[in-house]
Amino acid sequence: MLRSPLYLFLLISMLLSAGHLEAQRPTIEDFTLIGDTYRTRDDCLRLTEEEDYASGSIWYKRPISLASPFKTILSIMVGCKDTTGADGMVFVMTSRANRVGYRGEGIGFAGLVPSIGIEIDTWQNFHLNDPAEDHLSIMANGRVGHFNDLVGPKLIPNIEDCTRHKFTVIWQPANKRLSVEIDDQEVIALQKDLINEVFGGNDIVYWGMTAATGRYNNYHEVCFDRLAELERDPSLDHLQRLFRKTK
């Protein structure tokens, strides 16, 4: 079907405007580095070395809105020590930027309020009700004991295997669902109104990764070679289909 030049001009303008809704691919320079974190020679960020009582974190400099969907993909390394490796990493969302919680068993997340933490725990702390195996949990407000989990702990295969693993976090505000995948397999999910029940009605949050060691240690790294963009605005696809019909 033929369309008027004005119609095509408006449609193309809408396409270009919608394209701006898609976030740019972040780089290392888009993050604030805190604590023991440093940039490695292969352009990853090492949050801790194999040293006792180390801690580090990275924080994305620009806030995101929980009113919009997002999908963040990282490549993580949780060390090579299995039996004696500790303590793990946490993907954190909090309403204030560049904050770090307690190290050791707190994994840089303990004490952050308000917050949501997706914990990758590699050390068994009996007093926190940790299982012996590596596990994932979704927690709120810096409470790391499994008595307070929103969901979990969910057992996972040994992740301290000297291998980088694809770690994906997906937030879908339409159904208030937060899910986590490791190597493209969903491991754990939570359905909760994060904006109102955790962040007091505030939809603006910052996200980052924290890691820590205690009396035992491992190195912890994050790489961005496969860091995803924020989820594409579905209106863009609709407009593109309309545009193709006019050709």
Pairwise CA distance, residues 195 & 197, whole Å:
6
At 46 the pLDDT is 96
Non-local CB neighbours of 168 within 8 Å, separated by 6+ positions: 71, 72, 73, 74, 180, 181, 182, 184, 228
For the domain 26-232, what is the CATH code?
A: 2.60.120.200
**pLDDT, one tens digit for every residue, the chain (247 residues):** 445 545 444 443 443 333 333 445 567 888 999 999 999 988 899 999 999 999 999 999 989 999 999 999 999 999 999 999 988 999 999 987 766 765 666 667 777 889 999 999 887 877 777 788 999 999 998 887 778 889 989 999 999 999 999 999 999 999 999 999 999 999 999 999 999 999 999 999 999 999 999 899 999 999 875 444 444 444 434 434 443 444 4
194 in Cβ contact with 177 (< 8 Å): no
The alpha carbon dihedral of 92, 94, 96, 99 has a sign of: negative
- Extents of the domains making up the chain: 26-232
Within 10 Å of residue 91's Cβ, how many Cβ atoms? 23
At 4 the pLDDT is 53
At 242 the pLDDT is 42
* Cα distance between the two ends of the chain: 8
Cα 123–Cα 124–Cα 129 angle in degrees, nearest 5: 135
Non-local CB neighbours of 135 within 8 Å, separated by 6+ positions: 121, 152, 153, 154, 155, 156
215 in Cβ contact with 165 (< 8 Å): no
Pairwise CA distance, residues 95 & 202, whole Å:
8
At 87 the pLDDT is 85
At 96 the pLDDT is 79
pTM: 0.81
At 42 the pLDDT is 83
At 106 the pLDDT is 60
